[in-house]
Amino acid sequence: MKLFAIFGDPVSHSRSPLMHNSVFKNLGYKACYTRVHLKDGSKLKETFFNLKLSGANVTVPHKEAAFEACDEVRGFAKKVGVVNTLINENGRLIGYNTDADGFIYAIKEFGKINNVLIIGAGGTAKALASRFIQDDIKVSVLNRGSSRLKYFTNITKRCYTWEDFQTKKYDLVVNTTSAGLTDDELPAPKEIIDDILNNTSFVADVIYGKLTPFLKLADEKNITYKDGADMLLGQGVLANKLFVNKELKTKQIKHFMRNSFSL
């Protein structure tokens, strides 16, 4: 029996155990997926091996710590320095990022996007910004503080804090902050958010399972929006494929993961 887990703080909101266990159970794969509330990101590697995990996912706020913890980082994660999926490969910790492709999958229904505003400058924002730039999409980033904007100034000229932000027209605005996850906060002061929402065609939040204050406001303004559920599905399918080492079919993984959303 293989054991998998998700690490985060908070982690009790995570639907990943339900999603992955649904796949394992329905497809007869001998594995179990649990959650680990980890406060100190520097203990990630030690905890992973102490628990004898075969693989794991990493959520807020440890994705950058996960990158540091890896013996080897592969694919897109290497480019962005952010890891959300860990694999135990013969005692070596291998890191991947499935968030960015999961998000691209989620916004397909919005059609062609040329100009995006990302609110937040954490691990998820890094992954999405780099993925958008790879696809030649114009990226602006808005964060409450300037220290985490440093990474973004190397990839786009349009980096702002609440103090120097000036709204432009966007095709899509994405909230990647954890504002609204366990509180009722907007990701920036109300007047800034109002202005942003009045100048965008589509809105997305990476938070799932609830209507965040940000999405509530978008809804009140009749803007087409979506929460993070499809991103969760997209990144989960890709992570599961890494966990089972391609032994299960993508179509089946997706089917049982999607079914778990109604549990």
Where does this chain bind ligand NDP (CB under 6 A)?
59-61, 63, 99, 102, 120-125, 143-145, 148, 176-179, 181, 185, 187, 206-208, 228, 231-232, 235
CA separation for the pair 150, 153 (Å, rounded)? 5
- Residues in a beta bridge with 118: 141, 174
Q: Which of 25, 43, 45, 63 is catalytic?
A: 63
Residue number with CB closer to ligand NDP (97 or 115): 97
Residue number with CB closer to ligand NDP (89 or 156): 156
* Tokens matching residue 233: 């599905």
Residue with tokens 């959303």: 261
Smallest gap from Cβ 91 to ligand NDP, in A, equals 27
Residue number closest to ligand NDP, CB atom: 122
Specify the 3-state DSSP secondary structure of 89.
strand
Alpha helices in 98-200 (DSSP H): 99-106, 123-134, 150-153, 190-197
Smallest gap from Cβ 103 to ligand NDP, in A, equals 8
Residue number with CB closer to ligand NDP (54 or 212): 212
Smallest gap from Cβ 189 to ligand NDP, in A, equals 10
H-run or E-run covering 202: strand 200-205
**Distinct helix (H) and strand (E) counts, the chain:** 11, 12
Smallest gap from Cβ 176 to ligand NDP, in A, equals 5
Taking every pair of Cα atoms in the chain, the longest distance, rounded to a whole number of angstroms, is 54
* 63 a catalytic residue: yes
Residue number with CB closer to ligand NDP (89 or 149): 149
Buried b (16+ CB within 10 A) or exposed e, 51-80: eebbbbbbbbbbbbbbbebbeebbebbbeb
Residue number with CB closer to ligand NDP (91 or 145): 145
Active-site annotation, residues = 63
